[in-house]
Amino acid sequence: MIPFPEINPNIIEIGPIKVRWYGLMYVLAFVAAYFLIRRQGRARRLGLQGALLQDLIFYLAIGLLVGARLGYILFYQFPDLSDYLNHPLEFIAVWHGGMSFHGGLMGALLAGFLFCRRRRLPVWDVADTVIVTAPIGLFLGRVGNFINGELYGRPSTLPWAMVFPTGGPIPRHPSQLYEAALEGILLFVFLWKLKDLELRPGAVACLFLAGYGILRFVAEFFRQPDAQIGLFWGLLSMGQLLCLAMILTAIILWMFLPRGPTKR
């Protein structure tokens, strides 16, 4: 067992104002996405530079934040949904915690689709350009989860198990770091190597959906299930069910992708 590195989740505290590491991770993720998108040849061909790219990032940020919050409430808080309906301000109370990647992904996809339709840009080409940067945000988000001591793993006797501040006295898997390595580093390297290949429009986006779904599905076996939901059929978590839906979606979309490689 190794000690949990107790890092203050707040970077700055001035009275009621707090700047948290987790929030900073979102900012860094969008900044990294901006610079990684603009350096791609496909982005230059599409004109995704300057103000147009900044507008796209803004759309994606709003879609992701709204989708992540609503997704968390719908997917993970459905047993207490009536509490949110009785106190509607809780829908936007992100400072109380609770963001869902799957909800954020759906929100970002919808926002990106609307942006492409409004600016008359090819949806699949834009999706392929943007999606290769998503694992950077996933990596930073999981590091933020680790700093917060949340979304920790199941009990473990491995040498690198940790006792998390809110996880009781039992050593647990640092599952946030597993996910940071798999969904963040590994998936980014895989997608970044694919970005310049002659693939069908939308292929990279589909491979992201399938790749994330598979890696997250595996990592969830080491992560503590959400207490308010537990495991379905004593085996699968909500996150794993959503990942199976992602993999199925990727397979269906692949079958309907446009034919022919994208012009570089």
Look up residue 165 and give its two tokens. Answer: 């501040």
How many Cβ atoms sit within 10 Å of the Cβ of residue 59? Answer: 20
The SS3 assignment for 19 reads: strand
The SS3 assignment for 262 reads: coil
With 60 as the cut, is the pLDDT of residue 95 above it? no
- Whole-number pLDDT of residue 226: 87
Tens digits of per-residue pLDDT, 26-77? 999 999 999 999 999 999 999 999 999 999 999 999 999 999 888 888 888 7
Secondary structure (DSSP) of 58-111: HHHHHHHHHHHHHHHHHHH-GGGHHHHHHSGGGGG-GGG----HHHHHHHHHHH
Q: Domain ranges in the chain? A: 10-255
Taking the C-alpha atoms of residue 132 and residue 197, their distance in angstroms, rounded to an integer, is: 13
| CA distance to 65, 109, 112, 147, 151, per residue, from 246 (Å) | 19, 13, 18, 28, 21
Taking the C-alpha atoms of residue 66 and residue 113, their distance in angstroms, rounded to an integer, is: 15
Per-residue pLDDT, averaged over 146-174, amounts to 94
On whether the pTM is more than 0.75, the answer is yes
Look up residue 45 and give its two tokens. Answer: 């061909």
Whole-number average pLDDT of the chain: 90
